[in-house]
Amino acid sequence: MSEKKKFNIEYEIKSSPRILYSFLSEPNGLTQWFADDVSVRDQVYTFTWDDEQQRARLLMMKENKLVRFKWLDDDPNSYFEMEILQDELTNDVALGITDFAPEDAIADRRLIWDNSIDYLISVLGA
C-alpha cells in the first residue's frame, strides 16, 4: 500500500455554519449529499454507496465547526475532516476538507470531493 499524503481543499459555501454543520454531522444530512445511506451507532458511521458499505469512526466533533472521521479499514494515521471556516470580517463561510490519499490518487479524490460539494451546495440552495 503506497503511503498516503494529506491534502486540503476549500470551498466557499453560502450557508450559516449551523445549517451546514447539520449536513456534515447528522446521518440524515449526510444522506442528502455524501452517501446513499448513513447510519450511526456508538460513534461508528456506516456509509452506503450502491450497496457497498464503508464504516468510519467519529474522532472529533465541534459544534458548528468541524467533524473528523476515520475509515475503519484505512491507514491508522489518516482521516477525513470537514471544517467550517468563517471569515471574521466578512462572515463568509467556507468548507475546508482535509483528506488523505496516495499521491497518484489525490487528483481523483479531489474530483470526488468537488462533485460531492457541488451537490451539497445545490442541496443547500446556496
- Global pTM reads 0.92
What is the reported pLDDT for 75? 85
Cβ neighbours of 60 (radius 10 Å): 12
Residues contacting 80, CB < 8 A, separation 6+: 56, 68, 69, 70, 71, 97, 98, 99, 100
113: closest CA among 84, 82, 76?
82
What is the reported pLDDT for 72? 95
Q: Extract the residue ranges of the chain whose pLDDT is less than 50.
A: none
What is the reported pLDDT for 1? 57
What is the reported pLDDT for 126? 65
Spell out the domain ranges in the chain: 4-124
Candidates 3.20.20.70, 3.30.530.20, 3.40.50.300, 3.40.50.1970; correct CATH number of 4-124? Answer: 3.30.530.20
Helix (H) or strand (E) holding 60: strand 52-62
Q: Are 92 and 101 in contact (CB under 8 A)?
A: no
